[in-house]
Amino acid sequence: MLNLKEIEAEYIFVLDDCIDNTEQLIKSYMCPDNLKIIHCFEHSCGVARNLGLSIATGEYIWFVDGDDWFIYPNTVQDCLRILRETQEPLIQLKFISNFFNRQFYSMVWQYIFKREFI
């Protein structure tokens, strides 16, 4: 199971028009030292992502949505290791879906970017 408390990083959660217990759930899984939660009521993932990006200070940016999940528990650690070793400006992850009978190309959540690249 992915444990975000064990990964040293800056985590910015932009809750776009969120009215459920998502904030409490996030706080229960995260260390408050590296956590920022922002509320946005724009009904737009682009506005929410730009808001998070405007306050981000980390070296890498990954836009992960609430319906995304990882089948491999070391995804974050392995991607960061590869990015640091290769010095590439981004890495593209494979998308697997059991719910859609179509392929996705170049979706923002498939990439981890160097912040300076964006």
The CA distance from 15 to 91, in Å, is 25
Q: What phi and psi, each to the nearest 5 degrees, are found at residue 105?
A: -125, 130
pLDDT in tens, 17-52: 888 899 998 888 887 888 999 998 877 888 999 999
Domain ranges of the chain: 4-117
Percent of the chain with pLDDT over 90: 36
Rg (the chain; Cα; Å): 15
CA atoms within 13 A on the CB side of 107: 14
Phi-psi region of 90 (alpha: psi -120 to 50; beta: other; left: phi over 0): beta
pLDDT in tens, 60-72: 999 988 777 777 7
Question: Who's near 28: CB < 8 A, 6+ residues apart?
Answer: none
The domain defined by 4-117 folds into Spore Coat Polysaccharide Biosynthesis Protein SpsA; Chain A (3.90.550)
